[in-house]
Amino acid sequence: MSGLMTVFYKELADAFSRWRFIILFALVLIAGIFAIYLAAQSISEAVEEMPTELVFLRLFTTSGENLPSFLTFIVFFVPIVGIALGFDAINSERNSGTMSRLLSQPIYRDAVINGKFLAGVVTITILMTSIILLVAGIGLRMIGVAPGAEEVWRLMFFLAATIVYGAFWLGLAMLFSIFFHRVATSALATIAVWIFFIFFMFMIAGFVADLIAPIDQTSSYQETVRNAQLTIMVMRASPITLYQEVVSVLLVPQLRTMGQLLQLQTSGVYEYMLPNPLSFDQSLLIVWPHLVVLVALTVVCFAISYIKFMREEIRST
Amino acid sequence: MQPVIETVDLTKAYNGTTVVDRLNLRIEEGELFGFLGPNGAGKTTTILMLLGLTEPTSGVARICGYNSTREPLKVKSISGYVPERVGFYEDVTAHYNLAYIARLNGLSEELVMQRVSEALDIVGLSEVARHKVQTFSRGMKQRLAIADILVKMPKLAFLDEPTTGIDPEGVKEMLDLIAKIAEERKMTVILSSHQLHQVQQICKRVGIMIKGKMVVEGSLDQLGREVLAGGRFQVEVKLTEITSVIVDSIKRIDGVVGVERSGDLLLVSCQKDLGPQIAKAIVDNNGLLLQMKIQSYALEDIYMKYFTEA
C-alpha cells in the first residue's frame, strides 16, 4: 500500500511539473474561454426569443458563429489529454532503465501500474474541474444568471462523465505503452485510434447502414428511419459517440431521446423539441446505459494493461 | 551457517533454449563474489531469478533462506540491484531519484533524508545532489547507482556490469568504492562482469559461467592451480636427450609443481619463474640445453582457456 501511494505521489508531481501538462491546460482553457465567451454573447442577444429556464447550461452547449460549443471542444480535447498523460507511462521507464530499478524495490508490481493510472485520473480530474470552474465563472459574469441546484447537479455529472471519458483514453494509451516498446509507436497507435473514432467512424457507420438498409429518393419513411437508426447503432461502438450522447442529454434537459434528434439539437435547433425540460433523474435514466458502457470500456482497457504488465517477464535484454 | 545465496538446480529456458542450466551456487555472508562470463552467458538471468524478477523454469533460488519466487518482497527488501543499463529519471535531481527509492522501501521521511545525503556523501556526489541527472556523466551515474543501493542498506547487492562505459581511472575508483563499501557495511556483493582483470582486483572468489553453466568456481588461487595442474609459470625445455636423472633433479627444485614429457620436450610447471634454476639442474646433470621458453599464465589465460573451450 505504501508502494502504491509513493508511486502515485511521484507520478502526480511529475504530471504537474511537465511542459506537456501546462501546454494541454493552456490549450483546453483557451478553447473553453472562447467557446463560453461566444456562447454567452449569443445567449444575451437572443434572450427574448428563448426560454429562460436552465439558461446557464446553455453556455456549454451553444455554439458561436465561427466557433463550436464548449461541449464539442471537450469531446475533441479530452482524449488528447488522456493520451498525452499515458502514452509513455510504461515503455519510457523500460527504455530509460528505471523500470528494473523500480521493480527491484520491495513493492508489489501492480503498485507501479495502479499508481500511474490513479495519478493520471487525478490529473485529469484536477485539470477538467479547474477548467470547467474557470469557464463557468467567466460565463456567470457575462450572462449574470446564477446556476440553480439542478444545473449544478447536471454539471457535476457532466464532469464525472468527462473524467471517465478521459480515463478511458488514459487506459488505452497505457495499454499501448505496455504493448509497444517504442514511445513513438505507442503515441502514434493511440492517436490513430482517436483519429479513427473521430473522423472515420461516421463514414463506416453510414457505409454499414447503407449496406444493410439501403435508401434512395423513393424510400419510405420507415426505411429512412431504419437506416438512420443503424448508423447510430454502429456509431455507438465508439466511446466518443457514447460520451457525446451522455453529455448532450445531461446538459440539454429538453432532450428526451438519443438518436436523430440529437443531431438537430447539437446544431442548435431548439424548435424541434418540446420546450419543457426533463427532470434531472429522468435525463440520468436515459444516459445510464451509456455511462455504464463507458465505465466498462475503461475497466476493460485497464484490466488488459494490468494483466499484460503483471505477466511480463523482466529480461536481461 | 545459512548461506546468503543458495540455488538448487536453478534452470531457466526461453522457448526451449536453456539460458541457465541447473545452477548450484552457494555464497556465504560477507563474500565479494566475482560472477564472470561472456555476454549472454546467463549471468543477468541468474541475477533476475535470484531477485525474484524472473520466474525460474525449475529449481529453487534462496536469498537468506527466503524463496525468491514465493517471497519476492522479502528478498527485494534485503537485496540491492544495479542493473546493467541502469537508468534514472533524467529531468529531476539526483537527490529526488534516491529519495523516491528510499520511500518505496517504506522508510520514514526523516530517515529518507538522512540516508540519501549519507549515501550521496559516500559516493562523492553530495555537491551535485541538487543537479538534474541529465547533466551527469556516465561515471557519475554509475556512482549514483551505488548510492541507490546504499540508501536501502541491503544485506547483499547484485552489481551487473557496474564498470561498463567508464574510463580506466573511473573503473579503478569504482572498484575501490565497491570493495570499501562491502567491507565497511559487511555487505555480500555479487559483481557480475566479463572483464576478469577487474574482478581479480577485488574479488576473492569467482565463478565462471559459460552458456548457462557454472564451469568453474572457487577462490582465485585455487582456480589457478586447478587449471594449470599447479603452477602459474610453465617452462618449456628442449634437450638433446632426456634422462630420468635430469627429470628427478628438476622435480627436486623448490617451487616446481610438475614435470611432464611430451616428445623431446619437457614441460615444467612452477609457482614462480625458475628458468635459471632449471637450466642449472640440467647442466649439473650433464644434459645439453637446446632451447628454453618460459610462459607465465595470468588468470586472463585461464579465463581465455575456458572461453575458447566453450
Give me the mean pLDDT over the A77-105 stretch: 92
Cell triple for A313: 517477464
Residue B288 scores a pLDDT above 70 = yes
Contact A101 B106 (CB under 8 A): no
Residue B309 scores a pLDDT above 70 = no
Residue B5 scores a pLDDT above 90 = yes
Is A317 contained in some domain? no
Q: What is the model's pLDDT at position A249? A: 87
Q: What is the model's pLDDT at position B231? A: 54
> CA–CA separation, B217 vs B209, rounded Å?
9
Which range (A101-110, A167-176, A250-259, B186-195) has the least confidence?
Answer: A250-259
Provide the residue range defining the domain that includes A183.
2-311
In terms of CA atoms, which chain A residue is nearest residue B88? A98
Could you say which of A6, A7, A97 has the minimum Cβ distance to residue B86?
Answer: A97
| Structure confidence at residue B285 as a pLDDT band (50, 70, 90) | confident
> CA–CA separation, A215 vs A303, rounded Å?
41
| Structure confidence at residue B82 as a pLDDT band (50, 70, 90) | very high
In terms of CA atoms, which chain B residue is nearest residue A2? B106
| Structure confidence at residue B242 as a pLDDT band (50, 70, 90) | confident
Q: What is the model's pLDDT at position A50? A: 65
**More confident: B258 or B99:** B99
Interface of B with A (CB under 8 A): 44-45, 48, 51, 53-55, 73-74, 76-77, 79-90, 100-101, 103-106, 148, 152
| Phi, psi of A52, rounded to the nearest 5 degrees | -90, -15
Could you say which of A14, A97, A105 has the minimum Cβ distance to residue B85?
Answer: A97
Residue A53 scores a pLDDT above 80 = no
Could you say which of A14, A105, A316 has the minimum Cβ distance to residue B76?
Answer: A105
Q: What is the model's pLDDT at position A134? A: 92
Q: Give chain B as a 3 state SS string.
A: CCCCEEEEEEEEEECCEEEEEEECCEECCCCEEEEECCCCCCHHHHHHHHCCCCCCCEEEEEECCEECCCCHHHHHHHEEEECCCCCCCCCCEHHHHHHHHHHHCCCCHHHHHHHHHHHHHHCCCHHHCCCEHHHCCHHHHHHHHHHHHHCCCCCEEEEECCCCCCCHHHHHHHHHHHHHHHHHHCCEEEEEECCHHHHHHHCCEEEEEECCEEEEEEEHHHHHHHHCCCCCEEEEEEECCCCHHHHHHHHHCCCEEEEEEECCEEEEEECCCCHHHHHHHHHHCCCCEEEEEEEECCHHHHHHHHHHHC
Residue A92 scores a pLDDT above 60 = yes
Q: What is the model's pLDDT at position B110? A: 94
**More confident: A68 or A265:** A68
Contact B44 A316 (CB under 8 A): yes
Q: What is the model's pLDDT at position A144? A: 83
Contacts of B55 in chain A (CB under 8 A): 313
Q: What is the model's pLDDT at position B227? A: 57
Could you say which of B48, B77, B87 has the minimum Cβ distance to residue A101?
Answer: B87
Which pLDDT tens digit goes with each residue over A161-213?
999 999 999 999 999 999 999 999 999 999 999 999 998 988 899 889 888 88
Task: Kindly report the nearest CA distance between residue B93 and chain A, in angstroms.
Answer: 12
Task: Kindly report the nearest CA distance between residue B135 and chain A, in angstroms.
Answer: 15
Report percent pLDDT > 70 for chain B: 93
Contacts of A22 in chain B (CB under 8 A): none
> CA–CA separation, B81 vs B104, rounded Å?
14
**More confident: A260 or B158:** B158
Tell me which fold the domain B229-309 belongs to. Answer: Alpha-Beta Plaits (3.30.70)
Give me the mean pLDDT over the A214-241 stretch: 85
> CA–CA separation, B161 vs B34, rounded Å?
11
Which pLDDT tens digit goes with each residue over B20-29?
999 999 999 9
Give me the mean pLDDT over the B125-154 stretch: 92
Give me the mean pLDDT over the B142-147 stretch: 93
Contacts of B85 in chain A (CB under 8 A): 97
Average pLDDT, chain B: 85
Contact A144, A50 (CB under 8 A): no
Task: Kindly report the nearest CA distance between residue A102 and chain B, in angstroms.
Answer: 7
Residue B218 scores a pLDDT above 90 = no
Contacts of A119 in chain B (CB under 8 A): none
Cell triple for B230: 599447479
Residue A12, helix vs strand vs coil: helix
Give me the mean pLDDT over the B86-93 stretch: 91
> CA–CA separation, B109 vs B103, rounded Å?
8
Give me the mean pLDDT over the B174-180 stretch: 91
- Give the number of other Cβ atoms within 10 Å of residue B262's Cβ: 8
Task: Kindly report the nearest CA distance between residue B88 and chain A, in angstroms.
Answer: 6
> CA–CA separation, B64 vs A107, rounded Å?
19
Residue B186 scores a pLDDT above 60 = yes
CATH superfamily of the domain spanning B5-224 = P-loop containing nucleotide triphosphate hydrolases (3.40.50.300)
Q: What is the model's pLDDT at position B294? A: 74
Q: Could you tell me the residue ranges of all domains in chain B?
A: 5-224, 229-309
Which of A11, A19, A101, A310 would you mutate first to test chain B, the one with the most B CBs within 10 A?
A101
Average pLDDT, chain A: 87
Residue B229 scores a pLDDT above 60 = no
| Structure confidence at residue B132 as a pLDDT band (50, 70, 90) | very high
Terminal alpha carbon distance of chain B: 35
Contact A6 B100 (CB under 8 A): yes
Q: What is the model's pLDDT at position A274? A: 60
Interface of A with B (CB under 8 A): 2-3, 6-7, 10, 14, 96-98, 100-108, 313-316
CB pairs under 8 A between A and B: 69
| Structure confidence at residue B267 as a pLDDT band (50, 70, 90) | confident
Is A45 contained in some domain? yes
Cell triple for A16: 504537474
Unique residue bearing C-alpha cell 572468489? B205
Could you say which of B48, B88, B104 has the minimum Cβ distance to residue A105?
Answer: B104
Q: What is the model's pLDDT at position A5? A: 93
Q: What is the model's pLDDT at position A239? A: 93
Which of A4, A316, A317 would you mutate first to test chain B, the one with the most B CBs within 10 A?
A316
Q: What is the model's pLDDT at position B14? A: 87
Which pLDDT tens digit goes with each residue over A110-149?
999 999 999 999 999 999 999 999 999 998 888 888 888 8
Q: What is the model's pLDDT at position A146? A: 84
Give me the mean pLDDT over the A44-57 stretch: 74
Q: What is the model's pLDDT at position B268? A: 81
Q: What is the model's pLDDT at position A178? A: 94
Range among A53-67, B106-120, B211-225, B280-294 rated most confident: B106-120
Give me the mean pLDDT over the A90-100 stretch: 90
ipTM of predicted assembly, 2 dp: 0.84
Give me the mean pLDDT over the B129-158 stretch: 92
Which range (A85-89, A307-311, B170-174, B238-242) has the least confidence?
Answer: B238-242
Which range (B42-46, B48-52, B242-246) has the least confidence?
Answer: B242-246
| Structure confidence at residue A52 as a pLDDT band (50, 70, 90) | low
Contacts 24+ apart (CB under 8 A), B164-168: B164/B84, B165/B138, B166/B138, B166/B139, B166/B142, B167/B139
For chain A, the domain total comes to: 1
Q: How many CA atoms lie within 13 A of B297 on its CB side?
A: 25
Could you say which of B81, B87, B103 has the minimum Cβ distance to residue A98?
Answer: B87
